[in-house]
Structure 1
Amino acid sequence: MSSRTITSLSNDTVKRVRALHMRKERDETGLFVAEGLKTVIEGVDTGHAPKILMHGPDAASHPMMQKAVAATLAARGEVIEVTHDILAKVSRRENPQAVVGVFPQAFVGLTDVAPGAAQCVVALHRVRDPGNLGTIVRTADAAGCGAVVLVGECCDPYSVEAVRATMGSIFAVPLAKATEEEFAAWRAGWVGSVVGTLLTATASHAEAEYRKPVLVLMGNEQQGLTPEMAALPDLNVKIPMRGRADSLNLSVATGVMIYAATSLP
Structure 2
Amino acid sequence: MPRAGSRLSRMTAMPIITEKSDPAVQRILDVTKHSRVNIKSVLIEDLEPISHCVRAGVDFIEIYATAEAAELDDIVAITASREIPLRLMDSAVVNHVFKAERKPKIFGIARVPRACGFADTEQNPGDLIVLDGVKIVGNIGAIIRTSYALGVSGIVLIDSDLTSIADRRLIRASRGYVFSLPIILADRADAAKYISGNGMPLVVFDADGADTLVDLDRIDERIALLFGGEKTGPSSDLYGMRNISVRIPMRSSAESLNVSVAAGIALYQRSGHSFSR
**TM value normalised by structure 1:** 0.82
Q: CA deviation at 1:222?
A: 2.5
Structure 1 contact 53–72 (Cα < 8 Å) conserved: no
Q: How does 1:190-201 map to 2 (within 5 A)?
A: 190-201=198-209
Structure 1 contact 32–160 (Cα < 8 Å) conserved: yes
Which of 221, 242, 245 does residue 212 from structure 1 map onto? 221
Give the aligned residue type for 2:90.
T
Q: CA deviation at 1:235?
A: 0.8
Structure 2 residues not aligned, in runs of 5+:
1-13
Q: CA deviation at 1:5?
A: 3.3
Which of 235, 251, 272 does residue 263 from structure 1 map onto? 272
Q: How does 1:2-21 map to 2 (within 5 A)?
A: 4-9=15-20, 13-21=24-32
Q: CA deviation at 1:207?
A: 3.3
Aligned equivalents of 1:89, 1:162: Cα separation in 2 = 24
Q: What does the per-residue CA deviation read over 1:150-176, in whole Å, with 9 as the maximum and x for residues that have no partner?
A: 123443543222211212312312212
Q: Secondary structure at the match of 1:240?
A: coil
1:221 has 2:233 as partner: no
Aligned equivalents of 1:243, 1:14: Cα separation in 2 = 55
- Map of 1:133 onto structure 2: 140
Instruction: Give the percent of matched residue pairs that are identical in Structure 1 and Structure 2.
Output: 21
Question: Is the alpha carbon distance of 1:24 and 1:263 closer, same or farther for their aligned partners in structure 2, counting shifts above 3 Å?
Answer: farther
Q: Secondary structure at the match of 1:262?
A: helix
Q: How does 1:46-61 map to 2 (within 5 A)?
A: 46-59=56-69
Question: Is the alpha carbon distance of 1:53 and 1:93 closer, same or farther for their aligned partners in structure 2, counting shifts above 3 Å?
Answer: farther
Q: CA deviation at 1:131?
A: 0.8
CA RMSD, 1 decimal = 2.8
- Map of 2:108 onto structure 1: 101
Q: CA deviation at 1:223?
A: 1.0
Q: CA deviation at 1:92?
A: 6.3
Aligned equivalents of 2:251, 2:32: Cα separation in 1 = 40
Q: What does the per-residue CA deviation read over 1:132-164, in whole Å, with 9 as the maximum and x for residues that have no partner?
A: 111111011110111111123443543222211
Which of 15, 35, 42 does residue 32 from structure 1 map onto? 42
Q: CA deviation at 1:58?
A: 4.1
Structure 2 contact 120–182 (Cα < 8 Å) conserved: no
Of structures 1 and 2, the larger Rg is shown by 2
Question: Is the alpha carbon distance of 1:95 and 1:178 closer, same or farther for their aligned partners in structure 2, counting shifts above 3 Å?
Answer: closer
Aligned equivalents of 1:88, 1:244: Cα separation in 2 = 49
**TM value normalised by structure 2:** 0.79
Which of 240, 243, 253 does residue 231 from structure 1 map onto? 240
Q: What does the per-residue CA deviation read over 1:37-83, in whole Å, with 9 as the maximum and x for residues that have no partner?
A: 2322222222222123121124595144143156354xxxx543212
- Map of 2:258 onto structure 1: 249
Aligned equivalents of 2:191, 2:200: Cα separation in 1 = 15
Aligned length: 257
